[in-house]
Amino acid sequence: MDKNRGIGKNNDLLWHLPNDMRFFKETTQGHVVIMGRKNWDSIPEKYRPLSHRENIVLSRNTQFKADGATVYPNLTSALENIAKWITPEQKIFIIGGAQIYSLAFEECDIDEIFLTEVDAALDADTFFPKFDKTSFSKILVQEQNSDEKHPFAFQIFKWSKH
């Protein structure tokens, strides 16, 4: 998110930050990712389903099809089904967008949050929800200065539930 918690505009990301994307890929590969239908739509077709991950999409539209992903009408039914086949090594990552982040904070017991803080204040229409910081402690896991490939500096924090 940017300095104002912005994460998206016009159903697209606000930036192209290759090392942040690499961190996302390396952290989530091998695991389960749950996303909103708009986030799924925003991913270019050649990159979806996200590789080496079980892709889960939430949509209230029971007709919605997402090639290579499983669609569920609510988070509860998604989690109930995932519980039937997930391995002990696999984690479930909620990968946005804003509606699905909010839903997860409301309905789930979140163990960890990986949150990138981007050193910019951009024009956004979608925002990362505020959460109860007092339940978590944070450590810095990666830092990036701005350079020719990264228009903005950023820091990646891991927040862990006490």
Ligand X SMILES: NC(=O)c1ccc[n+]([C@@H]2O[C@H](COP(=O)([O-])OP(=O)(O)OC[C@H]3O[C@@H](n4cnc5c(N)ncnc54)[C@H](OP(=O)(O)O)[C@@H]3O)[C@@H](O)[C@H]2O)c1
- Choosing from 19, 27, 99, 142, the residue that interacts with ligand X (CB under 6 A) is 99
CA angle, residues 101, 102, 108, in degrees to nearest 5: 80
Taking CB under 6 A as the rule, does residue 12 contact ligand X? yes
SS (H, E, C) 34-67: EEEHHHHHHCCHHHCCCCCCEEEEECCCCCCCCC
- Choosing from 23, 33, 34, 38, the residue that interacts with ligand X (CB under 6 A) is 38
Taking CB under 6 A as the rule, does residue 100 contact ligand X? yes
Beta bridge partners of 124: none
The kind and range of the H/E element at 84 are helix 75-85
Buried b (16+ CB within 10 A) or exposed e, 131-141: beeeebeeeee
The least CB distance from residue 144 to ligand X, in Å, is 15
- Choosing from 32, 33, 48, 59, the residue that interacts with ligand X (CB under 6 A) is 59
- Choosing from 34, 98, 104, 156, the residue that interacts with ligand X (CB under 6 A) is 98
- Choosing from 26, 45, 47, 60, the residue that interacts with ligand X (CB under 6 A) is 60
Q: Which stretch binds ligand X (CB under 6 A): 11-19, 47-55, 138-146, 152-160?
A: 11-19
The least CB distance from residue 96 to ligand X, in Å, is 3
The least CB distance from residue 113 to ligand X, in Å, is 11
CA angle, residues 106, 98, 94, in degrees to nearest 5: 65
Specify the DSSP class assigned to residue 133: G
